[in-house]
Amino acid sequence: MKSNPHDATGPHAVSRRTFLKTFGTSAVTAATLGANNVARGLAQANAERSQGPGAVGVTLRVNGESRTFSIEPRVTLLEVLRANAGLTGAKEACDRGTCGACTVLVNDTPVYACSLLAIEAQGADITTIEGVARDGKLTALQQAMVDRDGLQCGYCSPGMVMVLTALLRKNPHPSEAQVRRAIAGNLCRCGSYPRIFAATLAASGQKPVTKLNVISLHDHAVA
Amino acid sequence: MPWPKATRYLGKETPRVDGPAKVTGRAKFTSDVAPAGVLHGAIFRSKWAAARVKSVNLEKAKAAPGIKAAILAHEGEFDVRYYGDEIAAIAGTSKQAVLDALALIEVSAEPKDFVVKELDAVKTDSPRVAAGNANLTEGAAKATGDVEAAFAAATAIAETTVSTPTQVHHPMESHGHTVQWDGDEMTAWSSTQGVFACRDIFAKSMNVAQNKVHVICEHMGGGFGSKFSPGVEGALCARLAQAAGVPVKLMLTRFEQGLAVGNRPSSFQKLKLGAASDGTLTAFEIYSIGTPGYSSGANQGGGSGGASFPAPYIYKPAATRVKQGSVAVNAGQSCAFRAPGHPTASAGMEAVLDDLAAKLGMDPVEIRLKNDPNEIRRREYVIGAEKFGWKEKFKKPGASTGPVKMGVGCAGAAWMSGGRGTQAEIQVNADGTVEVRVGTQDLGTGSRTVVQVVAAELLGLDRDRITAHIGDSRLPPSGSSGGSATTASVSPAIFDACENVIAELKKLSGLDDPRGANWKVACAMIGAAPLQVRGKWREGLSTGGAGGVQFAEVAVDTETGFVAVKKILVVQDCGLVVNRLTCESQINGGVIGGLGYALYEQRVMDARTGFVLNPTLENYKMPGAADMPDIEILLIDMPERGVIGVGEPCTVPTASAIANAVANALGVRVPDLPITPDRVLAALGKVPKETATTMAERSREVESAFASVAAAPGAPWVDGNSGCHPYT
């Protein structure tokens, strides 16, 4: 992003930075510029760094691969991934940063892809659910999610896997409380949370307590 | 039941077959499907709770950049009946183009008076939701025995008033479809609980032959009863695709989910229960009202059974009087929601039963053992009480000391379930691999895995030799996934098909038993054309009628009003357990859904604007990871009963058990679900005076509403369960 005060031209020209600096420190200066000049100055200053509203080229590094998309700057990372990049693993469920179904890793940190503009994700390393399993082999977490049934409809699963992958990278042996905290921002409507806790503990080599017992009714008489 | 006794898969833990696809992002859900050139579709909805729409101008929207189709939901003038009612729909080349163009739609409308609260809507001077009709539709009183005499003779009588919220489904994947036309043939990728139901409804609404409609649902992100029909959004999507001449995807936003596509009806219940000195229930009376949305009672528009529910629930006092009403309000219509009517019915009945037990000085488990007519459920209470440590944990209501009070409660479920007509086709290839085809769908219940393991068990094969094809209306027919009927419908059909496969292979190979070591030899004789065999659902392999009881332990902070559920113990029968792993997951899900109903979930309407105040997930509170209690499940294995579905009974008693545990902790009942901290404090008399006055006012309103139900002459009885399940 370019912001060079010397690029400003014209008798009353101000750069964005000098404009903000002067405007912020001296009301007198602002007044002497005159209302028209203020507006012009601001528009010009913004124009230096603003892009759009039409489509612009946005280059994203997703799962190790750089690709350029022609999109409007208002488009979210989630939408580019799903609609432009064909990576539909990240799911749209709330589109406003509440449910976590769209979680991806941005420089190894879990981020709601619905709440980040694609243009702002340039230069970062983005990992989606499609980039987690290497060479078609499930990670220990993914395998545990399958074996322990840490999913039902599976719509929240990509987001859950992303968050928990990040957790296990930082903390290979989390407690159940830490697992709960990690997915506090991810909703599952089918109610798979207990199994997700168990899967994460199992993936980290810990033994979750099984709660399921199958018994025969005939072994029990009515009191 | 002819199911095998020694099993390799049945009753064991089998990870779901589509698990790997779902945890890697490979699974293509309905919302992921994107045929070449697909357009983004969206619906323009009413901002009025009630209005007469005179005209809608789509010209500017049509002319907007990227817009390829714009259509009206209705021709001519029409009424909108709730905030969110459909007015028009557009499709364009990008979401951004569509968002811009939605703002260009012009509507000329005359706003009308509206009413969004049940207790306002029953008043005689309330605005009418449907012109010319009273908002309140009552069922005729249903009575057995001499109720007055029975109450007069009762040793103890409990009177309880409870209310339950309008609960919204909010599946993680929203409602929606992608529709593509090829001449007069349409293909719909639908997020649905019934591919055949969708096909038939599409055929009707689009006026095309059923054999020209193809519905596909490979993976879908939950339904909970709200996705039986393609809905208004399905018809609009199909029309947009027709108008545009290219495929259109129309997935609703979360905001729309909160307004328009179904909910569980609310209830206000006034219950009275009497018992003899030994605890035998002798007399019961209930008045109830609730809202199923803008269309109520005889004016049903949304496929629900109104706001009525089974009463008396589970228990059978000799003398009963039941009168239930549905009241229309200007809000989104209800539809089937996991165990329709039952959690609502349970919330009232189990509450008044516990209040009565307290009056009699009886233990809640004892009074249930005394009165529950179902032997299996009685045994479940005994088993559960022992496992839960009920005797040690149960104290008299309010006996818990200190600012954080502990309490325990229990409740039961009754669900009819049962299986019905499904067909399955099995193809055996010459290399010994098998393809099973059945037109059911997997809502997350694991039905795809059920298809695979039942075939693997009966054909004696490793399950990875079997591919299950489901979720397509061109497969052999199966019903919608509702009423906990899928496993009990699908498994017998596959059983039957497997028997036919074995018979055919016997004939073909001359072998006594073509399974096991003989399988390869027998299959090698099949030749170039694979063997295809059909099977049908038949009697004797599945039954209906699941019970189940649950125990809850809670800690209630009497200073903050916060309720923490510590433990839920589930004792659940479901006949023959097909897959223990997915069965337990479903029960977890039922419990967690019930937890939301008990403590967090409610649609909040604004009386002044008619808006839904919490249509999104940040303010419609669903249970999250931090809210999880310790859930322990005891599955009662009864293979002799055959397959019985479990998805619904397991959600019925959770909220009641929690509410009873809270009442046990506090010594006073919090009468309204969800049991939010403010309501706990109000029940404890800890709220400021002003709020107390408001509560008294509200309580008068509730009473007058019941009085209007009681006084109304009544229309023909509407059964609490009729029409709740749009089975095909």
Q: Do B444 and A154 touch (CB under 8 A)?
A: yes
| The two structure tokens encoding residue A100 | 């976590």
Note whether A167 contacts B: Cβ–Cβ < 8 A: no
Pick the last residue of a domain from A49, A64, A79.
A49
Residue A196 in domain: yes
Tell me: domain B128-169+268-328+699-728, CATH 3.30.70, correct? no
* Residues A124 and A69 reside in one and the same domain: yes
Domain count, chain A: 3
Query: Cβ A190–B222 below 8 Å, yes or no?
Result: yes
pLDDT in tens, A46-104: 776 778 889 999 999 999 999 999 999 999 999 999 999 999 999 999 999 999 999 99
**Chain A residues 136-165 within an 8 A CB cutoff of chain B:** 138, 142, 145-147, 149-158, 161
Q: Which CATH architecture has domain B33-112+170-260?
A: 2-Layer Sandwich (3.30)
Q: Which amino acid is at B484?
A: S
Q: Tell me which of A217 and B153 has the higher pLDDT.
A: B153
Q: Is residue A106 part of a domain?
A: yes
Nearest-CA distance B255 → chain A (Å): 8
pLDDT at B670: 95
**pLDDT for the residue numbered B196:** 96
Quote the minimal CA–CA distance from B713 to chain A in Å: 42
Task: Give B667→chain A minimum CA distance, Å.
Answer: 28
E-assigned strand segments in A39-194: 56-62, 65-71, 103-106, 109-112, 125-127
Q: Does domain B19-28+419-536 have CATH number 3.40.50.2300?
A: no
Look at A129 and B24 and tell me if their CB atoms are within 8 Å: yes
> What's the CATH number where A187 sits?
1.10.150.120
Enumerate the residues of chain B whose CB falls inside 8 A of the CB of residue A90: 25
**Residue B580 and residue A142: Cβ atoms within 8 Å?**
no
Per the CB < 8 Å rule, is B582 touching A187? no
Instruction: Say if the Cβ atoms of B580 and A214 lie within 8 Å.
Output: yes
Residues B667 and B658: their CA atoms lie apart, in Å, by 14
- 3 state SS of B703: helix
- Residue A218 banded pLDDT, cuts 50, 70, 90: low
Which tops the pLDDT comparison, A214 or A99?
A: A99
Chain A contact set for B581 (CB, 8 A): 149
Q: Which residue of A has its CA nearest to B577?
A: A214
Predicted local distance difference test score (pLDDT) of residue A136 = 82
- Check B24 against A133: CB less than 8 A apart: yes
pLDDT of residue A24: 45
With cut-offs at 50, 70 and 90, classify the pLDDT of residue A212. Answer: low
Q: What is the pLDDT of residues A5-53, one digit of tens each?
A: 344 344 444 444 444 444 444 444 445 556 777 778 777 777 767 788 8
B10, B14, B24, B640: best to mutate for the A interface, most A CBs within 10 A: B24
Domain match, A127 and A63 both: yes
Q: Where are the beta strands (DSSP E) in B488-595?
A: 531-536, 549-557, 563-573
Q: Which long-range contacts (CB under 8 A, 24 or more apart) does B119-127 make?
A: B119/B268, B119/B698, B119/B701, B119/B702, B119/B705, B120/B607, B121/B291, B121/B327, B121/B328, B121/B329, B122/B289, B122/B325, B122/B327, B122/B704, B122/B705, B122/B708, B122/B709, B124/B708, B127/B50, B127/B330
CB contact under 8 A, B172 and A214: no
Cβ-Cβ pairs closer than 8 A, A with B, add up to 222
Q: In chain B, which stretches have pLDDT less than 50?
A: 297-304, 714-728
Same domain, yes or no: A9 and A30: yes
Is A83 close to B443, i.e. CB distance below 8 A?
Answer: no
| A37 and A74 belong to one structural domain | no
Same domain for A148 and A185, yes or no, is: yes
Under an 8 A CB cutoff, do B636 and A196 touch? no
Cβ neighbours for B293, distance < 8 A, ≥ 6 positions apart:
B82, B263, B265, B302, B328, B329, B331, B332, B333, B334
Could you tell me if A175 and B615 are in contact, meaning their C-beta atoms sit under 8 angstroms apart? no
Question: Which A residues in the span 95-114 are in contact with B, Cβ-Cβ below 8 Å?
Answer: 95-96, 98-99, 101
Q: What stretch(es) of chain B map to CATH 3.30.365.10? A: 19-28+419-536, 33-112+170-260
Contacts of A179 in chain B (CB under 8 A): 625
CA–CA distance, B56 with B17 (Å, rounded to integer): 49
pLDDT digits (tens, 9 = 90+) for B390-445: 999 999 999 999 999 999 999 999 998 788 889 999 999 999 999 999 999 999 99
Cβ separation B379–A217 shorter than 8 A: yes
Residue A134: φ, ψ to 5°: -95, 135
Determine whether the interchain pair B172/A155 forms a contact, defined as Cβ–Cβ distance below 8 Å: yes
Does the beta-carbon distance from A155 to B173 stay under 8 Å? Answer: yes
Average pLDDT of chain B, as a whole number: 92
CATH number at residue A86: 3.10.20.30
* Domain extent at residue A23: 5-49
Of A91, A145, A212, the CB nearest to B23: A145
Residues on chain A touching B220 (C-beta within 8 angstroms):
153
Q: Of A81, A100, A131, which residue is a domain's last?
A: A131
Contact indicator for A102, A75 with CB cutoff of 8 Å = no
CA distance A98 to chain B (A): 6
CA quadruple A90, A95, A97, A101: dihedral, nearest 10: -30
Residue recorded with tokens 């709770």: B49
> How far apart are the CA of B380 and the nearest CA of chain A, in angstroms?
8
- What's the whole-number average pLDDT of chain A? 84
Could you tell me the pLDDT band of residue A4, with boundaries at 50, 70 and 90? very low
- pLDDT for A34 equals 67
The whole-angstrom distance between A123's CA and the closest CA on chain B is 24
Residue of A nearest to B27 (CA): A89
- Judge: B631–A180 Cβ closer than 8 Å, yes or no: no
Burial class (CB in 10 A: 0-12, 13-18, 19+), B270: buried
ipTM: 0.94
Looking at the complex, report in whole angstroms how far the Cα of residue B170 sits from the nearest Cα belonging to chain A. 7
Q: Which residue of A has its CA nearest to B17?
A: A146
Q: Among A13, A28, A49, which residue terminates a domain?
A: A49
Q: Shortest CB distance from A212 goes to which of B18, B378, B633?
A: B633
pLDDT average, residue stretch A135-159: 96
Residue A217 lies in a domain: no
Task: Answer whether B607's CB lies under 8 Å from B117's CB.
Answer: yes
| Inside any domain, residue A144 | yes
Question: A189–B219: do the CB atoms touch at under 8 Å?
Answer: no
Amino acid at A135: D
Instruction: Report the residue of chain B nearest A193, measured CA to CA.
Output: B625
Q: Which residues in chain B have Cβ-Cβ distances shorter than 8 Å to A215?
A: 383, 634-637
Q: Do A197 and B628 touch (CB under 8 A)?
A: yes
The β-bridge partners of B136 are: B327
Considering the domain architecture, whether residues A44 and A62 belong to the same structural domain is answered as no
List of chain B residues whose C-beta atoms are within 8 Å of the C-beta of residue A74: 96
For residue B65, the model assigns a pLDDT of 97
Q: What is the pLDDT of residue A216?
A: 67
Q: What are phi and psi of A141, to 5 degrees?
A: -65, -50
Contact B631 A146 (CB under 8 A): no
Q: Has residue A216 been placed in a domain?
A: no
Q: Is A176 on the interface with B (CB under 8 A)?
A: no
pLDDT score, position B704: 80
